[in-house]
Amino acid sequence: MNKLSDDFTQGSIAKKLLKFMIPILGALVLQAMYSAVDLLVVGQFGTSAGISAVSTGSNIINLATFIITGLTMGVTVLISRYLGEQSPERIGKVIGGAIAFFFLLTVMMMALLLVFAPGFARALNAPEEAYGLTVEYVRICGAGLVFVVAYNVISGIFRGLGNSRLPLIFVSIACVVNIAGDLLFVAVFQMDVAGAAFATILAQLVSVVLSLVIIKRQELPFSVSWADIGFNPEIKNFLKLGFPIALQDMLVNISFLILCAIVNGIGLEASSGYGIAQKVTAFVMLIPSALMQSMSAFVAQNVGAGKEERAKKAMVTGMVIGACIGVFIFAFSFFGGNLPSALFTSDPAYIARSAEYLKGFSPEAILTCLVFSYIGYFNGHGKTMPVMVQGITSSFLIRVPLSYLFSIQPGANLVTIGAAVPITSVYGILFFTVCYVAFQQKMKVGAAFS
């Protein structure tokens, strides 16, 4: 294959999976640092209400971002499949269709965030002290959504090619700019929440511009002409793969928004503590997220090459790697949750509430690696419907009802509310195990009649 892409159909599975996964993990770490740095700097140099505003506002922006990343996963899987099938000539049409589709989607999402920011803040039960700041944060980030979309589409294309190094470079650039911008706008100019939002958008802008410059100098295994850019049949193909993932991501994040509203109703102390914990859990979830993205591309390429057994071995390998790492993250989150929480604020009450949530949440570090490995396996096969069904049912039949039930108990605390998340993952593991067995039986029957 071309030097910008990698061949996953031969060689050591663990070695190639880790080689591909580590840059993705690095990119996710740096991406998570965006909002984490926003919260950290606002917590140290801004206002107390600003902590809640950045936490609540970033939940809204994350919803839009996860929809985009879900849809771009369809682009990633389709490109990987065409590489496995030795059909690189189809990749140009995929990218051209993606440019047209995501441009239209971005315009629509920007309009929604700008117009309905007050309604979103009210729906999330933003504390009165933080309401105006939450609206401000959402509107500023919403105005710069085009750069968030551009970054995710570019990164999705290169992950589809088996190249996870360039996306790491792109997000590294953005992270450095974001940290510098936060310190300048919040710590020096005292712009509080608005400064954090401006820094985030500036970082994405710089990252996209420099990534385009870098890409222009690379030798690519495909070509894109002006004739490719437009609404073509490949849009339907990547939407068929990406839409169930995006819908699932959207509904899962809505369930977490509902959870945010539940916690916000308890009071500013719980709201800020939960907001801090969410930034910590974002880092906890990076290993399984990197596994899922790596697995999707790895499996898709092997499916395209007709190597089903290798695809199954890759899934099991991912589960083992993720669970082994997850044990250490679980122990740290359960016993030392106050340590990362203290990075975001010096308020002992906020730190205590954050540590409470992390204690209940901590088993998720292990369990979700199994769930996300399953998701990557099904995504790689283009079987995204089970992923969507699991996401919807786990969110609205398990996580949200349990969180609400735990929140209305006498003496409710964030430990029990946090525990609703790993309980939900136990359901996810059982659900996907049944789906996997059924899928294997279906393939055996199909092979017998072929």
Q: C-alpha angle 115/55/191, rounded to 5°?
A: 75
Q: Establish if 256 belongs to a structural domain.
A: yes
Domain count, the chain: 1
Mean pLDDT by 10 residues, the chain (450 residues): 63 88 82 73 82 82 86 87 82 90 95 94 84 93 91 84 79 86 90 90 88 76 80 90 80 76 76 81 84 86 88 93 93 90 83 89 93 91 86 87 82 82 94 94 68
Those residues with Cβ within 8 angstroms of residue 151's Cβ, 6 or more apart along the chain or in another chain: 170, 171, 174, 204, 207, 208, 211
Predicted confidence at residue 309, as pLDDT, reads: 92
Domain of 327 in residue numbering reads as 13-448
Could you tell me which of 340, 42, 66 has the C-alpha nearest to residue 197? 42
Predicted confidence at residue 1, as pLDDT, reads: 46
For the chain, the average pLDDT equals: 85
Q: Which long-range contacts (CB under 8 A, 24 or more apart) does 87-91 make?
A: 88/221, 88/222, 89/222, 90/234, 91/221, 91/222
Q: Give the pLDDT confidence of 23-52 residue by residue, as tens digits.
A: 888 877 777 776 678 877 887 888 878 878
Look at residue 218 and give its three-state secondary structure.
coil
Predicted confidence at residue 140, as pLDDT, reads: 94
Q: Establish if 123 belongs to a structural domain.
A: yes
Q: Give the pLDDT confidence of 342-381 residue by residue, as tens digits.
A: 887 778 888 888 898 899 999 999 999 999 999 999 988 8
Q: Establish if 3 belongs to a structural domain.
A: no
Q: Establish if 98 belongs to a structural domain.
A: yes
* CA–CA separation, 73 and 242 (whole Å): 6
* CA–CA separation, 313 and 316 (whole Å): 5
Q: Establish if 395 belongs to a structural domain.
A: yes
Q: Establish if 165 belongs to a structural domain.
A: yes
Q: Establish if 5 belongs to a structural domain.
A: no
Q: Establish if 427 belongs to a structural domain.
A: yes
pTM score, whole prediction = 0.71
Those residues with Cβ within 8 angstroms of residue 119's Cβ, 6 or more apart along the chain or in another chain: none
- Written as one letter, the residue type at 299 is V
Q: Which two tokens stand for residue 63?
A: 């919803």
* Helices of type H across 131-164: 131-143, 145-160
